[in-house]
Structure 1
Amino acid sequence: MSSGHKTMSAFLAVIGSLIAVILGLCVRWPLWAWPILLGALAALAGLPQFLGRRRRPIIPPEHTLEPDLPIPPVERWEKIVRDVALPSRSADYDFLFTAVVRWIPSDTAHGAEVSFAGLAVDAVLQRAADVTAAQLPHRASLVQHQLSGELATMVSDPSGRVRAMAEHVEVVLSDTDRERLDKLATVRKNETVWEHERKWEQSKRAYLGEDVLSSAGSAVVWWLAKNDDRVDRAVADIGLLAQLTAVANDECVPERLHPYLSDTPGFKEAEKLREEAPDTLADHFTRFMTSTGVEEDDPMKLLFARRVAEAAKAAGLDEADTLTRLIDTWEVPHTESFQQGDDPAEGYEEQGYAP
């Protein structure tokens, strides 16, 4: 208990005793009550001292190794850095870094010889650059949150003289870089869509050209698969399908399908023009081959036709080249009856077509 507390306690004890004596005289207390009053006043005066001794520690604070003194507040320093360019994963695109750098010196003995601000800012920027270098530039918002967590802890710099952190982190891109990235993203998206459309078109052309329109029969089968309940319509459209197949393969409609072309649009006009036009050597030869009854899959048909074309060319006929091109369009399956080095004429004579 301090001296002030002791003085106040004694003063109150004296005042209380006087009040008790005056009250006792006024009411004329009996003689046996005065000793009790004096004892109560003495107990009341000693109670504060007793309570103060109970609260006092066993070992006085002045005799302890670490006196219970107030700890001085830790002094911190800070500096604002603005729009510092940090690298990204894409070349020529930098993040702009803004933050409040805070630090605590660790080596106070050399405080006058070291710029703690420079060490702290360099340490924070190095930690930030390690994060941004692995991120894409259009992820600036995500990078900002990552840096806010990464730089939120005091970490010593490589020299060990300062511990630094950063607060109020902001990461943005320049306006020009953001516009360029937006344009590039739009171009990439359009290119992806165009590439898918091109592949889809190529697939569709391959399906139609190599499968559906590979022959008139394939076209008819495809039409029936699409309209399995319209067989009569399929028969009526054989001529159109045959013409479409011939055009798709740059060929003429086979003669066996000509009866189906009589009702197709433009066929009669084409037939009329062909009848009015003078017959060519190719026309005469085609009718001749039809009249002989030679089957289209006869392996000797192509050999005979080529001999005729060679003879026409040797005779100097003007339409020999046209006849040769016509024969080149004929398709005759290859057989194993003629091996490399054999004379085709021998097989031709064996079939009874001696020239």
Structure 2
Amino acid sequence: MRAIAYTQTGPSSVLDLVERDLPEPGPGEVRVRVVVSGVNPTDWKARAGGRPGTPTPFPEVVPNQDGAGVVDAVGAGVTALSAGDRVWLFLAAHQRPTGTAQEFTVLPAERVVRLPDAAGFEVGASLGVPAMTAHRALTVHEGGPTRLAPGALDGRTVLVAGGAGAVGHAAIQLARWAGATVITTASSPEKAALATAAGAHHAVDYRQDDAAHAIRAVAPDGIDLVVEVFPARNAELNSRVVANHASIAVYATDGGGEMTLDVRHHFSLNVRYQFLLLYTVGAEALAAAAEDVSRAVGDGALEVGEAAGLPLTRFPLDRTADAHDAVEAGTVGKVLIEVAEG
């Protein structure tokens, strides 16, 4: 089978197209014929390492955490999945040497989720890290909910920072599906249009001096939950718009790894900052996210493509290096690798 692999960290040029034997699933594992592989910022960052030449965690690594395809074989003890099932994958390369940038991949059955019949493989490959991160961000408020479903966020107002990004896009869609009023911030009219297409009720240019006023105009009682990708840059804006007992869920450090907070102001509002990293949230949170995300997909709530606010950029498997470079360069939307025909 064809696979993309690297044996040392560094720029995308370390990625090579190689031929490897078909892997066999062990007990509790599933082999999937990958149709589409999804690329996330974590994929190119892991490949790049802390600095070029940093040792890889395994002698050879196949990148990419997310993907979608068809179950090809199951190992002993696997009963919930069968050959022929259409599935989406998450954390395929987490603490494992092989991800989804290959024609077949083997991973634990708990990281393989049935893909609803109405959803295409491009939807399945766009879930994983973005949708599950968004799910976690929307379920950390002290007043709940801990699970998402239609009506779970009724009466809540959610602010999604960077609504044109993959996580922001999923957060908008999931929050809207769960009944929230959704406000998003964006840096351009084009990105605001994408966030609106995803389902945001209101889009605000965060660069405007009156951004807080614009948010308060549509949420006079304040924001209940912030899904935050730029914690340092947006700390002041968030402090001006959050409601009493608000939660600010931080899933990335874009814009700086340190921030300054007015402790007294946040103290008076009982504000909670919740930091989250998908790789360490634990099995229970991952299982809950996978189940709820699949239900949202089945309801048609997590569509992709430009009309749904998430433009798709596609590459063939042998151009995985270009796909990584596109994500590193900040390509708007979702970058996918077409591994095989569906």
| Higher RCO (CA 8 Å, separation ≥ 6 residues) | 2
Bigger share in helix: 1
Q: TM-score, normalised by structure 1?
A: 0.16
Bigger share in strand: 2
Bigger Rg, structure 1 or 2: 1
